[in-house]
Copies of this chain bind each other. A is one copy, B any other.
Amino acid sequence: MSPRPSAPLSLEFILLGLIIEKPMHGYDLYRELSRLEELTDVWRVKQSLLYALLEKLEAAGFVTSTLLLTESHLARREFRPTPDGVVAFQVWIALPVEHPRAVRQEFLAKLYFARKAGRLNALALCAAQLENCQEWLSALQNQSSSQPPAAFKNMVDRYRLHMIQATIQWLQELTRELEANPSNV
């Protein structure tokens, strides 16, 4: 009477982003995703999973679908964003991720779309993410104060420290570049 709770939407927003750019049916989306190397480099989906994720987006109310029945084509189901979906997507590309492990795929996906929405969006995302990183850093430093130096816990903490600091450096690098490059607004 209490099943596995379903994970919150995350990489599904990639599909939503593509649908917002241009309404499409599942197979088109699949080809788009396979074609866009920048995205496949960050996220790969099998065809059958893609359809399942589209259902998830539809269940969330972020897309609607209609069956297209033309004479010249196979039947296909076209997906369009809902107003809710558009808002949710804008929020998604504005909000930083809440855990270091989500930088690898989800933050990069956000960055991909934030850049397409203009340099300022990308800069805002990076700034917000930098703030989160700083918080992770101080939480780590508070918690791990004064431990035996050769303790395992200490090694784990220092791993996390290195990862967060590297992320911060990378984000600062990105920020500088985005500020320097006047390609958009």
Most buried by B among A115, A162, A167, A181: A162
- Residues of A170-185 contacting chain B, CB below 8 A: 170, 173-174, 177, 181, 183
Count residues of A near B (Cβ-Cβ below 8 Å): 32
From 122 to 146 in chain A, residues with beta carbon under 8 angstroms from any chain B beta carbon are none
Q: Are B158 and A173 in contact (CB-based, < 8 A)?
A: yes
Write the nearest CB–CB distance from A134 to chain B, whole angstroms: 17
Pick from A10-18, A58-66, A90-98, A101-109 the stretch touching chain B. A101-109
Q: Footprint of B on A, CB under 8 Å?
A: 37-38, 41-42, 101, 103-104, 108, 111-112, 115, 149-153, 155-156, 158-159, 162-163, 165-167, 169-170, 173-174, 177, 181, 183
